[in-house]
Structure 1
Amino acid sequence: MRHDLTTLNLVLAIAESRSITRAAEREHLALAAASKRLSDLETRLGVKLFERRARGVEPTEAGRALVRHIRSLHASLHALESEVMEFSRGIKGHLRIAANAGAIAECLPGDLAAFARAHPQIRISLEDLTSAEVQTAVAEGRADVGVFAPPLHDKHLLTWPYRAGRLVALVPKGHVLARSFQGTAGVSFEALLDFDMVGLHIGASVHELMLQRALERGRTLNARLQVRGFDAIAQLVGAGLGVAVLPEAVARRFASLFAIDVLPLDEPWASRRYLIAARDVAQGEGAAARAEAERALQQLSLPAVVQRFVEALLSAGSTQAS
């Protein structure tokens, strides 16, 4: 079913002005023509979009739903126009990246900046999502490349190991765990579970990891406070409201700003590696074909800008490993 933009813009104008007359004026239409457009659209959709009231018109539930989609369409059209116009200014491509908070805070910025310097004609956008959301965004084509922490939820994604990271414990300055840590390899997760935890929101990879490990021990994760930023976690821990588990590089930076101690986490799962993900162009060919494609990146039919970016991250990751 086709809808012309003039009619859709009219619907939006009616919803915003609460008047067919004012909407017709705004869209430079005769009142009779505007009324006919609205009537024809309602007939085609089989629903009433507006109800007449004493003080004008009000959108029905169907009308409100249509208005939401019209606004979303306008946003998409604006993005489309902006992106296409960039080509006139020398932009040669657009790379959409989705990454989890840990990767953004710990390792991605430097590699992203190096890639941007080497490819100034490529426009880069970055979205902060949970690891699960990163995978969904890549699988659905809303992101070209994803960087996230395991586990891998979508087996149809092509993945490559990127950079290594380590989780550490964060406790208030002078905390009992900091005093008892002296001379040991690190603090155990079991010991952390005796205290209130400050962490990221549900769905964040560290939160899900801690929740799983607590359940394996038959313990409860006392997630007292959940926020959406590492800096907020560090401040809350420094204020004595609990303990936390954070990526080490992030924790070390905050240790000079807040009243906190950073302790090694004596757990095998404290070491982790971020993964790079792209859409699997070999779907349906089986695991062996996908594994071969992952080993031979140059043989993949990825968009050129995506392939260049993945190669750049792999090169940066291998430099760290060596």
Structure 2
Amino acid sequence: MRFDLIDLRLFLNVVEAASITHGAERANLALASASARIRGMEEALGVRLLERGRRGVRPTPAGQALVHHARVVLQQVEHMRGELGKYARGLKGFIRVLANTVAVTEFLPEALARYLAANPNINIDLEERLSYEIVQAVAASHVDIGIVADTVDLGGLETFPFRVDRLVLVTPRDGPFAGRDEIAFAESFEHEFVGLSAGSALQNHLGEHAMRAGQTLRFRVRVRGFEAVCRMVEHGVGLGIVPETAAERCCRTMGIRMVRLSDPWALRNLTICVRQFGALPVYTRSLIEHLTERSERVP
């Protein structure tokens, strides 16, 4: 039985994605190569590791056992890299981070850029997900670090304060609510919106709050990114809801105004969560320490 680290990482990616195709993409392997590796693992063990169906794949009982052992092995490898990193400059560490929309777009680019510039032997895989999905992934050890809004149940995870996120409404300078300092989210339902692309964690968050109020947001267009939302709003396409940091930046160059939302959920703490801080590799702990240097928290 001969498995290498590429095999183990590939298998975990396939199981997490519930797809050999998507798992191969995450592992940066061609589909044919990934399929051959999976078949080779099954032949070496003499058991099926995956059940294949129309909607993707899922691990068999033997596959579940392999998932457990693969995570243990790869975690030990990451520990080794952390411990030996100061002796072996060419040995790269790898950190998987899941974060919500606001963290990915507004707060992490600069913070991660500084960390990566100071740590050339570290690679980071950053992916946007919904907060509850992030918590599940961290709890299951699928990823090293999660960054979520503290409105989600964090269970028994260890947490660290990261940033404060305030959501605001943006409107044209002479548009609805332009003369107001603050409104309730429900007041905006009669108007049309510029939204983020389907699948955006923030857009799903807003949709959930509209549903709780018995409403559905009406979108004239969906775009990628907060600047694109604000540009559409400037031209009178509709209203938008974006983080205050993005609104302040866009207000300097665009003909828009921002209005704070009075709803309690519009002011959130962004929180770093991990399964067990002390069990993380040295370089992963150092990233968390770096990210929390300028931490903020709503009292």
Name the TM-score class by shorter chain.
0.5 to 0.7
Deviations along 1:249-286, one digit per CA (max 9) or x if unpaired, are: 1122222444422222233222111111212x4xxxxx
Distance 1:264 1:111, change over 3 A: same
Distance 1:174 1:99, change over 3 A: same
How far is 1:164 from its partner?
Answer: 0.8
Deviations along 1:11-45, one digit per CA (max 9) or x if unpaired, are: xxxxxxxxxxxxxxxxxxxxxxxxxxxxxx8xx99
Residue matched to 2:284: 306
Note the 1:1-322 alignment, pairs <5 A: 90-153=90-153, 155-178=155-178, 181=179, 184-279=180-275, 281=276, 300-317=278-295
Q: CA RMSD in A?
A: 4.3
Segments of structure 2 that go 5 or more residues without pairing to the other structure are 5-42, 58-73
Letter in 1 for 2:242: L
Tell whether the 8 Å contact from 1:185 to 1:266 is kept in structure 2 after alignment: no
Distance 1:209 1:129, change over 3 A: closer
Q: TM-score, normalised by structure 1?
A: 0.59
Distance 1:230 1:136, change over 3 A: farther
SS at match of 1:177: coil
Q: TM-score, normalised by structure 2?
A: 0.63
How far is 1:216 from its partner?
Answer: 3.6
How far is 1:201 from its partner?
Answer: 4.0
Percent of residue pairs identical? 32
CA distance in structure 2 between the aligned counterparts of 1:95 and 1:155, rounded to whole angstroms: 22
SS at match of 1:315: coil
Residue matched to 1:285: none
Distance 1:206 1:157, change over 3 A: same
Detail structure 1 runs of 4+ shifted over 6 Å in the superposition.
2-5
Letter in 1 for 2:243: P
Distance 1:200 1:133, change over 3 A: farther
Distance 1:176 1:228, change over 3 A: closer
Distance 1:129 1:210, change over 3 A: closer
Letter in 2 for 1:158: E
Segments of structure 1 that go 5 or more residues without pairing to the other structure are 6-40, 47-60, 66-79, 282-296
Tell whether the 8 Å contact from 2:181 to 2:259 is kept in structure 1 after alignment: no
SS at match of 1:107: helix
Q: How many residues align?
A: 238
Distance 1:155 1:266, change over 3 A: same
CA distance in structure 2 between the aligned counterparts of 1:187 and 1:151, rounded to whole angstroms: 21
CA distance in structure 2 between the aligned counterparts of 1:202 and 1:271, rounded to whole angstroms: 23
Moved more, 217-226 or 243-252: 217-226
Report the structure, 1 or 2, having the larger helix content: 1
CA distance in structure 2 between the aligned counterparts of 1:307 and 1:115, rounded to whole angstroms: 12
SS at match of 1:152: coil
CA distance in structure 2 between the aligned counterparts of 1:201 and 1:138, rounded to whole angstroms: 25
Deviations along 1:196-232, one digit per CA (max 9) or x if unpaired, are: 1222245544333333332343333224433332233
